[in-house]
Structure 1
Amino acid sequence: MTKEENEQRLAYLKNIVLNMPEVPGSYQFKDETGTIIYVGKAKNLKRRVSSYFLKEVDRFKTKVLVSKIRDISYFTVKTEEDALLLENSLIKKYNPKYNVLLKDGKTYPSIVVTKEYLPRIFKTRNINKKNGTYYGPFPHISAMYNVLDIINRVFKPRRCHFPITREGIAAGKYKTCLEYHLHNCMAPCVGKQSYEDYQENIRQAREVLKGNTRELGDWLYKLMEKNAEMLRFEQAEALKQRYILLREFVAKSEVVSHTITDVDVFSITDDELRKHAFINYIHVTNGTINQSFTYEYKRKLDETDEDLLLTAIPEIRERFGSHAKEVIVPFEMDWKLKDAEFFIPQRGDKKHLLELSEMNGKQYKFDRLKQAEKLNPEQKHTRLMKELQNKLKLSKLPYQIECFDNSNISGTDAVAGCIVYKGMKPSRKDYRKYNIKTVSGPDDYASMQEVVRRRYSRMIEEQTPLPDLIITDGGKGQMEVVREVVEDELKLSIPIAGLAKDDRHRTNELLFGFPPRVIGLKTDSELFHVLTQIQDEVHRYAITFHRDKRSKHALHSELDDIKGIGPKTRDLLLQKLKSVKKIKEADNQLLTDILGTSKGNLVYAHFHPTEPAPAV
């Protein structure tokens, strides 16, 4: 598109905006093919839509959207809630490219009460409202089976699949089945249970599905007492058993407060990159939680948390058929609902409900993250690298991390180790061992400087990739001596961090910067565990190298210093004479008898250098 064509496009769109009314409504952006690419809502259509064409719009994704718009249409409504509902229905109808996406890939089961002559109650994943009334969905399958179990045990709806009719019952077409003999059904199909009694049971089952268990329990208790007063003891006993089962079921539910009757609760949890949001919904009826569900939404235009909640609340309330007059939310909402009010609790039971909703949202986010990382382990490593990058405010992802450690005993057999992690995983082929050459005595700082100088001087010379982050096994002192070499001597710009230990020699803090400062990092977090693994690995590597070197030194024999005498000759001498002392004391004849003339003379001459060489 040329500059002139773009100017004509913007002029056309701005002319539409100028003629828009200043009333609530929904607007639709269309592309060059006439396809709706975005549906929005507004309390003031003219003011909201004109904001898209202001020069100060700086969000990249919004600029992309605006560049795709070729036409604008809109609908006006009377109230803010009508605008919300209209937006919701249009998004469902057209599924616009740039609108928030509800990631509802999994169909959760619901419980249906059919519209048959003798209704059935069972679970289903196929929703067809012509066939019955649906309750749910149930994200937790165990909770759904608990509800079905109490309904089957208490109200005994029929479980057969026959299309039972009034005429069929009157004609005696049906027979009792096994469920009747197992006391799971009271056989309304053969008239052993009256139609009115069966329908009353179904009505009560609906109350359980709606969450009105307390009111139903009170009604059953009063009916039981009434039957007992009228000396109908069998009916009273049956009602008593039903009441007890219902009370046990309610006891297992989350009881919040008997003063809270009908409330919706919404909370929102973001992921680390703010690409997705998890909106948890809790419905409370008569003080008891009877619905809890978390939806995942994908942001398309960097929508705010308020935008997402405003999109989700009407849709979720519609899905669950909620008409609660009070909606608990975590922050102020600019919009209003026609038949409900937003409420932000500060304390008490409603505050507890909001915290419970937030906890469920965070748990859902954690579960989704773990599930994704099981399918793609690299995703976890990338997440940890990004987290470390954000914590340290690094300019690039710390893909290659190197860590150093020294090991010696009073300065003897001094060595150092360097380990390399790539993508948060050990790259053992890149590990390096160093014998300390220029430092005498137990000077850890000087040893560290020697090793760092040798490593990065060689990497510069060989032009191999330098690390994205250096981690020292120590605190401020170790960081400073490494910085002196890396930055002051070698003129390299490599970030340096340190892992400091407490009095019990346990890693307790991450240091970074110049001068070093403590980085806020929970010691029970995954990132902290990975960093301590790096520290433990470099410590293990350096200690193992030091032990190997010390062991070789301890096993060194004076025989190894004799030029021309190899391990086999040495072992033969030790086998015959048992010790180096006896080898030293042996005469030339004995040594030549064991080793032969040439090697025997070499060994004898080594231990008796002042004596003349024996005649050959």
Structure 2
Amino acid sequence: MTGSQGNGGKAVFDGKAFVAGLSTAPGVYRMYAADDTVLYVGKAGDLRKRVASYFNATPKVTRTMAMIAQIARMETTVTRTEAEALLLENQLIKSLKPRYNVSLRDDKSYPYVLVTSEDWPRIAVHRGPRNVPGRYFGPYPGVTAVRETLNLMQKLFKLRNCEDSVFRNRSRPCLQHQIGRCTAPCVGLVSAPDYADAVRRASMFLDGRSDELTQEVTRDMEAAAEALNFEEAARLRDLLGNMRSMQARQYVDGKVAELDVLAVAMQGSQACVLLLSFRDGRNLGTRAFHPRTNGSDDPAEVLAAFVSQHYAEQPAPREIVLDRAIEDVPLLEQAFSEAGGRRVQIKYNVRGDRARYVDLARRNAEISLATEMSSQAAQNARAESLREMLGLSRPAQRIECFDISHTMGEATVASCVVFDAAGPVRGQYRRYNIAGIEPGDDYAAMHQALTRRFRKAAEARAAEVAAADSGTDPPVTAEGAGILPDVLLIDGGAGQVAQARAVLDTLGITGICLVGVAKGEARKPGDETLLLPDGRALKPGAASPGLQLVQQVRDEAHRFAITGHRGRRQKARTTSRLEDIPGIGPRRRASLLKHFGGLGGLKAAGAEQIAQVEGVNAALAQRIYATLHGLDPGPGAGPD
């Protein structure tokens, strides 16, 4: 059961009076500034006692005193348990982005190993939303660890990794089968039960049940030998040998390790948290995180915030080893154990192998922090150079860039990439599939993409103003939708810039520095011309740090646009083809492709030639021809 209390007065906030009315129950508190921005979100086992600690006479660090001085009002939410308060705190930090909380900033989603749910499952790397039906194993700290795992799975269990469009249209085994890494289910060289058994065993291995799997394979091998099925016994013997040779186990204190080792390094308010992962005894490698400390210079506070937020999003291993003590360890252990359905332990001040891994993680954290700080210094220098070049009052805190990609007008896609002071903000990248324009009309494509982007911003701003006037909460919008950039880069010349200016003027959006990025005659990097809002055209030259930042953002927009265009174009060329024609099953599809040597040959054939393929009558041939050429199949288009 939850409830809330607040103090909306505009005078100096009376903390002691606010504390007097608070509950002693667990919950979450939020501090707000006069402009209604969120200063801090915290959790408490006893709300009254925790909030009171901010307003007593105990000396506090400068950062905390500065935060308290800005409080205009506070709100609290009561929860049933302290573990529930922990979860709510993490959700609010992620959604509200408070000014003084340490927050985990990670633009890259974790890679997983995916085993799909279909008649003939495939195994693949997956990154992003888990919306593909199947089982996800992970997360892994990096894509290298995932690829190594996939390589291992294919050697041991010979599962397919090809895309479904390839799988459905194979007429003979591919190279993966020839080198012994796939059993070729695409052409029926393995039975469905045998393939399903291989998938089950691969899942056991990925689940960390390799000991159980080894025992099962051993029993099956002995049973096959007793039944005088020596061929099957030899196959299982080879599988068992490969499993044992490839299980390069790393033991910690004599046990198979399933743990994460975390260490933090700090210089001032810059921090790096290094994660070293072990699963089923295998070292999966490291991953460096650079959280926003928002002024905190306490390594224990940064590490505690990381542990709380990271494992609220990712499943915790059985053991988490830290390089220093943090607060609320019993609470975190309880929350992670309840979420995972098994006991999770958090340890520090360890010995033996664990101590060596902590030292390794700490040294890697220091190296990663030094690298990040040197690259951040260069990024700051480029931002300052751009500020001087464009005549801005301060370095740009948000840069957006738009680009258009198509092939002779086909599958036009616009991209919008976002950079902040720390670099790319990939979670706010957007692609726009352009439709309803003349093919190849880049001006119309740019106008449509910018209208869709900034119309949402204008609507979000209007909704915020209306909510403020009515005293209600503003509606929830997509992350970044209501935020306007300081600098808007348009990849193109005066025509594209004119489209951007027209869109902004129509929507009544001001305060954005609009810059066109036009390529030079030789299209060489460094030869770009910047078209400024006042009509000037600058050629800073390749040595300009400001132009280097513009190039970095522009190149990222180009990469993101062309990737989306290629995906859209490929989808258009691989869908609505044979698999969508009524009456065409796997056998007829394979016969057609084999007869004509592929989809290109089939598309070049006439309906009469198609009808000559075994199992294809004249009506079906006409349907195939019409579908491949975008024609109306005519009457009788249903399956035979």
Q: TM-score if structure 1 supplies the norm length?
A: 0.52
Distance 1:318 1:311 in 2: 11
Q: Is the 8 A contact 2:103 2:305 kept in 1?
A: no
1:310 corresponds to 2:304? yes
Q: Does 1:360 align with 2:364?
A: yes
- Match for 1:349: what amino acid? D
- The Cα shift of 1:201 comes to 2.1
What residue in structure 2 maps to residue 86 of structure 1?
A: 88
Query: Cα deviation per residue 1:576-600 (whole Å; 9 max; x = unaligned)?
Result: xxxxxxxxxxxxxxxxxxxxxxxxx
In the alignment, structure 1 residue 289 sits paired with structure 2 residue 286: no
* Residue number in structure 2 paired with 1:216: 213
Matched, 1:329 2:332: no
Of residues 227, 236, 241 in structure 1, which corresponds to 2:238?
A: 241
Offset, 1:189: 4.2
- Matched with 1:470 is none
Instruction: Indicate which of 123, 129, 132 corresponds to 1:121.
Output: 123
Secondary structure of the residue that 2:124 maps to in structure 1?
strand
Counterpart of 2:226 in structure 1 is: 229
Contact 2:301 2:326 survives alignment (8 Å): no
Partner in structure 1 of residue 185 of structure 2: 188
Q: 1:95–1:256: structure 2 CA closer, same or farther, 3 Å change rule?
A: same
Equivalent residues in 2 for 1:334-353, closer than 5 Å: 334-335=327-328, 336=330, 337-338=333-334, 339=337, 340-353=344-357
Cα distance in 1 for residues equivalent to 2:182 and 2:156: 10
**CA offsets 1:481-500 (integer angstroms, 9 cap, x no match):** xxxxxxxxxxxxxxxxxxxx
SS in 1 for 2:265: strand
- Partner of residue 10 from structure 1, selected from 10, 13, 21: 13
Matching of residues 578-593 of structure 1 within 5 Å: none
1:93-172 mapped onto 2 (5 Å cutoff)? 93-107=95-109, 109-162=111-164
1:74 aligned onto 2:76? yes
CA distance in 1, matches of 2:251, 2:115: 26
| DSSP 3-state at the match of 1:327 | strand
Residue of structure 1 equivalent to 2:197: 200
Q: Distance in 2 between matches of 1:202 and 1:362?
A: 41
Aligned length: 364
**Distance in 1 of aligned mates of 2:312 and 2:216:** 29
Name 1:21's counterpart in structure 2: 23
Letter of the structure 1 residue corresponding to residue 272 of structure 2: F
Query: Contact 1:211–1:290 (CA<8 Å) still a contact in 2?
Result: no
Q: Is the 8 A contact 2:173 2:186 kept in 1?
A: no
CA contact (8 A) 1:257 1:287 kept: no
Q: Which amino acid in the other structure matches residue 12 of structure 2?
A: R
C-alpha distance in 2, partners of 1:96/1:7?
20
Q: Write the letter of the residue equivalent to 1:269.
A: A
How big is the shift at 1:122?
1.4
Distance in 1 (alpha carbons) for counterparts of 2:207 and 2:288: 19
Match of 1:266 in 2: 262
Q: Indicate the residue corresponding to 1:63 in structure 2.
A: 65
The whole-number CA distance in structure 2 between the counterparts of 1:308 and 1:276 is: 10
One-letter amino acid of the structure 1 residue matched with residue 83 of structure 2: E
| Pairing of 1:293-442 with structure 2 (within 5 A) | 293-302=287-296, 304-324=298-318, 326-335=319-328, 336=330, 337-338=333-334, 339=337, 340-369=344-373, 371-372=375-376
Q: Which residue of 1 aligns with 2:270?
A: 276
Cα–Cα, structure 1 residues 119 and 18, in superposed 2: closer, same or farther, change >3 Å?
A: farther
Give the counterpart letter for 1:27 in structure 2. Answer: Y
Which segments of 5 or more consecutive residues in structure 1 lack a partner in the other structure?
380-616
Shift of 1:35: 4.2
Which is further off, 367-376 or 117-126? Answer: 367-376
Paired with 1:377 and 1:228, the residues of 2 have a C-alpha distance of 71
- Corresponding residue for residue 585 of structure 1: none
Provide the C-alpha distance between the structure 2 equivalents of 1:366 and 1:238, rounded to a whole number of angstroms. Answer: 51
Shift of 1:236: 2.3
Q: Which amino acid aligns with 1:266?
A: L
Deviation digits for residues 320-364 of structure 1 (CA, Å, limit 9, x no counterpart) = 42252x432333444112133333344223333333333332343
- 1:182 Cα deviation (Å)? 4.9
The question of whether the paired residues in 2 share the 8 Å contact of 1:212 and 1:285 is answered with no
The alignment partner of 1:122 has SS state of: strand
Residues 41 and 101, structure 2, Cα contact 8 Å, conserved in 1: yes
**CA 294–301 in structure 1, closer or farther in 2 if over 3 Å, else same:** same
After superposition, the Cα gap between the structure-2 partners of 1:133 and 1:39, relative to the gap in structure 1 and judged at 3 Å, is farther
Percent identity, aligned pairs only, is 26
Bigger CA radius of gyration: 1
1:149 Cα shift?
0.8
Q: Which runs of 5+ in 2 are unaligned?
A: 1-7, 338-343, 384-640
Contact 2:90 2:312 in 1 (8 A): no
1:605 alignment counterpart: none
Q: CA deviation at 1:150?
A: 0.8
Distance apart, 1:100 and its partner CA: 1.2
| In 1, Cα distance between equivalents of 2:364 and 2:210 | 23
Name the SS for the 1:100 alignment partner: coil
How large is the RMSD of aligned CA atoms in angstroms? 3.5
**1:14–1:310: structure 2 CA closer, same or farther, 3 Å change rule?**
same
- How many angstroms apart in 2 are the aligned matches of 1:185 and 1:289? 26
CA distance in 2 between partners of 1:368 and 1:321 (Å): 27
Q: 1:140 to 1:160 in 2, by over 3 A?
A: closer
CA deviations over 1:407-459 (Å, ceiling 9, x no partner): xxxxxxxxxxxxxxxxxxxxxxxxxxxxxxxxxxxxxxxxxxxxxxxxxxxxx
Contact 2:155–2:181, Cα closer than 8 Å, also in 1: yes
Deviations 1:220-254 (A, max 9, x none): 34433333333322222222333333333322x54
CA deviations on 1:18-59 (whole Å, 9 max, x unpaired) are: 222223322112234544332112232222222223355543
Q: Pick closer, same or farther for the CA change 1:74–1:130 going to 2, 3 Å.
A: farther
SS in 1 for 2:147: helix
